[in-house]
Amino acid sequence: MKNFKDKVVVITGGASGLGREFANVAAGLGMKLVLADVQADALETARAELSGQGVRVIARLCDVRKGEQVQALADATIAEFGSVHLVFNNAGVGSGGLIWENTEADWEWVMGVNVWGVIHGVRIFTKLMLAAAAKDASYEGHIVNTASMAGLVNAPTMGVYNVSKHAVVALTETLYQDLQLVEAPIGVSVLCPFFVPTGIGQSHRNRPEDVRMSEGPTASQRAAQAMTEKAVSSGKVSAVDVANLTFKAIADGQFYVYSHPDALQGVELRMTEIVQHKNPSDPYAAMPHVREGLRARMKLASGAPQG
């Protein structure tokens, strides 16, 4: 996709974080915006600010876990703008802790947003884009699914999130191959950011009542939350940087998009271990202070004696 001006972009999780920065870049390129989010106040703020800049934008509350709400988002997009050219399946949440300590509600929430949100976006919007392409020989479109480096490697105390993001990578790779198979003029990218300062560390602020935590966080969950917040807040690559490099990847037809190329060393090691039938190595082998810090935080959070 080379031409962005006057084209229509749909962004889930568009009120804050990466989604908000995608909206800013898209607005600067002269696109028409459709923003979706579950946080009403942030969504209205984003709509008002962009509209005040002369951008054509509509905003819709949308829980991407629910297929009918994603369908309503698509219907509103077509009703307002008549077509869609670029889709960011970007809404995402996080939950940590030792994997056996995650509740059914934890799994339902994270998989609902991170996986089913992308599933609904792909199955609904891809069909609309294919229909548009069938009517217009000059049509070009693109779909970006937000995964994570956690979709390519597996750090401890991030199990639910890891599983969800691995699913997004697999889904997006298959989408790419399927669209190539039918020779569709629709590009695909999977975005795999590492630790970028966004609000995902506080995503529990928007956790719905039907998947609310039924009991207090465990020691490992509190430790994982603290470590994640520290890593995210100290990230040197900003959401603005990631948005800009993502749009460059779209224009270049690049599938894999990374915010931290150095992190690919962990991916290479994992692939080597798989091919060589080796057990997974310690992801913190080169940073033992991180592993020990996590263990210490878990002991501190549990009230266990320090030794």
Per-residue pLDDT of the chain (307 residues; tens, 9 = 90+): 999 999 999 999 999 999 999 999 999 999 999 999 999 999 999 999 999 999 999 999 999 999 999 999 999 999 999 999 999 999 999 989 999 999 999 999 999 999 999 999 999 999 999 999 999 999 999 999 999 999 999 999 999 999 999 999 999 999 999 999 999 999 999 999 988 776 665 667 778 888 888 777 888 888 888 877 777 777 678 999 999 999 999 999 999 999 999 889 999 999 999 999 999 999 888 778 888 888 888 876 555 544 4
Pick from 112, 238, 201, 105: which is nearest to 163 by CA? 112
Q: Please indicate whether residue 139 is annotated as part of the active site.
A: no
Q: Find the angle CA(21)-CA(176)-CA(1) to the nearest 5 degrees.
A: 50
- Mapped onto helix, strand or coil, the DSSP state of residue 138 is coil
Q: How far apart are CA 286 and CA 266, in angstroms?
A: 11
Fold (CATH) for 8-302: Rossmann fold (3.40.50)
Q: What is the pTM of this model?
A: 0.92
Nearest to 193 by CA among 217, 176, 224, 169: 169
Could you give the C-alpha distances from 248 to 3, 228, 255, 256, 264, in angstroms and in order?
12, 28, 11, 12, 20
* Continuous segment of H or E residues that includes residue 5: none
Tell me the three state secondary structure of residue 179.
helix
| Active-site entry in 161, 176, 256, 284 | 161
Strand pairing category for 32-37 and 86-89:
unpaired
- Show the tokens assigned to 42: 């942030």
pLDDT for 284 equals: 85
Angle at 14 between CA 9 and CA 17, to 5 degrees: 130
Q: Would you tell me how many other CB atoms lie within 10 Å of the CB of residue 176?
A: 18
Q: Which residues contact 282 (CB under 8 A, 6 or more apart)?
A: 291
Angle CA(97)–CA(66)–CA(41) in degrees, nearest 5?
Answer: 80
For the chain, the domains span 8-302
Distances (CA, A) of 41 to 61, 84, 135, 223, 256: 10, 25, 38, 30, 33
Euclidean distance between the first and the last CA atom of the chain, given in angstroms as a whole number: 57
Helix (H, G, I), strand (E, B) or coil at 101: helix
Residue 71: φ, ψ to 5°: -65, -40
